[in-house]
């Protein structure tokens, strides 16, 4: 359990580094935008290629993935319903809000949580692939369509978005078993190593130079996102896995813990790229990451 706390604290320290260099005047707000753009167009696509190329794409069709996918559907549907009734956001802002309530930090936190709480890092694969192969492309199409009025531009989105293209390439490499030559793979891996720290540092800069936490959206909206992500989604995943698919033991434990992971920092990158819900996503990440620690520990104590 100490290693799980170490995983959370590591993220916090890297975010704190971004906050510190912004506070000391080493970087300005423009640096946060540059880092976010580099992460979106270069580092994250490189990381996706390397991660997906080494994955077992069959995991996206597993019962664990099905339970997690249905839990995501429940969470997104509830968020969209509340948004339509209360805030009436535009498509881009609503998409960022829905992602904040449902898209888990499967890579940065999911891997150590799966390794140290569940005892097997491979258990995070269904969630990771579900998000990268299914959720991310759909979300990017919605975000692109919110900023493009021409129908043909929306149809071409999958062919122009670097994250979608990288995901497709990674899946093709995994499905075919083809290995990139080292002269290509090594630079891609090196660039991909920039993705996680780059996003976290950009996030830390935003915490210092952007609106104060809580100012990016109403307290009610952040509360709804937090409850959906840390309470509704894991409860939905547990219910579906237990009573629909008959899961028990480690499988049920894994699905519930993974569904209780906080919002992924990638949502902040998407929000920054499309200039939709930037402060909202940042505040949601902050709140869910802080509160996910006791939630994961409670789930582990009850089901572990």
CA pair distance 266, 40, nearest whole angstrom: 9
Per-residue pLDDT of the chain (304 residues; tens, 9 = 90+): 565 667 667 778 888 999 999 999 999 888 888 888 888 889 888 887 888 788 777 766 778 889 999 999 999 999 999 999 999 999 999 999 999 999 998 876 776 677 667 766 567 778 888 888 789 888 888 888 776 555 455 556 556 678 778 878 888 898 888 999 999 999 999 998 888 788 788 888 887 887 666 655 578 899 999 999 999 999 999 999 999 999 888 889 989 999 999 998 889 888 988 888 888 998 999 899 888 888 988 888 888 6
Question: Quick one: 267 exposed, middle or buried, by C-beta within 10 A (0-12, 13-18, 19+)?
Answer: buried
Number of DSSP helices (H) and strands (E) in the chain, helices first: 18, 0
- CATH of region 2-303: 1.20.1530
Residue 197: closest CA among 8, 18, 4: 18
Local structure of 260: helix, strand or coil? coil
Measured in whole angstroms, the distance separating CA 284 from the mean position of its chain's CA atoms is 12
CA pair distance 199, 43, nearest whole angstrom: 9
pTM of this structure? 0.77
Residue 217 is predicted with a pLDDT of 55
**Residue boundaries of the structural domains of the chain:** 2-303
C-alpha dihedral over 87, 91, 129, 170, to 10 degrees? Answer: -150
Residue 151 is predicted with a pLDDT of 47
């Amino acid at each position: 359990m100490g290693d799980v706390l170490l995983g959370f604290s590591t993220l916090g320290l890297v975010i704190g580094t971004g906050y510190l260099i912004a506070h000391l005047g080493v970087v300005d707000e423009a640096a946060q935008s540059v880092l976010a753009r580099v992460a979106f167009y270069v580092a994250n696509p490189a990381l996706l290629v390397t991660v997906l190329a080494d994955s077992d794409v069959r995991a996206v069709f597993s019962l664990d993935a099905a339970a997690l996918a249905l839990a995501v559907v429940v969470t997104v549907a509830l968020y969209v319903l509340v948004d339509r009734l209360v805030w009436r956001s535009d498509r881009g802002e609503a998409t960022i809000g829905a992602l904040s309530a449902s898209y888990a930090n499967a890579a940065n936190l999911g891997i150590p949580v799966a390794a140290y709480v569940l005892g097997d890092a491979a258990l995070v694969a269904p969630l990771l692939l579900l998000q990268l192969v299914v959720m991310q492309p759909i979300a990017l199409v919605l975000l692109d369509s919110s900023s493009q009025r021409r129908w043909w531009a929306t149809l071409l989105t999958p062919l122009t978005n670097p994250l979608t293209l990288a995901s497709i390439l990674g899946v093709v490499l995994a499905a075919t078993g083809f290995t990139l030559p080292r002269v290509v793979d090594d630079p891609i891996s090196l660039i991909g190593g920039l993705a996680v720290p780059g996003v976290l540092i950009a996030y830390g800069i935003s915490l210092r130079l952007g609106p104060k936490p809580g100012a990016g959206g109403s307290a009610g909206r952040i509360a709804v996102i937090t409850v959906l992500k840390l309470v509704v989604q894991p409860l939905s995943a547990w219910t579906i896995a237990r009573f629909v698919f008959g899961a028990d033991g480690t499988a049920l434990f894994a699905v519930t813990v993974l569904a209780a992971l906080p919002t992924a920092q990638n949502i902040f990158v998407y929000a920054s790229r499309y200039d939709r819900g930037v402060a909202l996503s940042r505040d949601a990440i902050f709140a869910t990451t802080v509160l996910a620690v006791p939630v994961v520990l409670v789930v582990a104590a009850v089901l572990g």
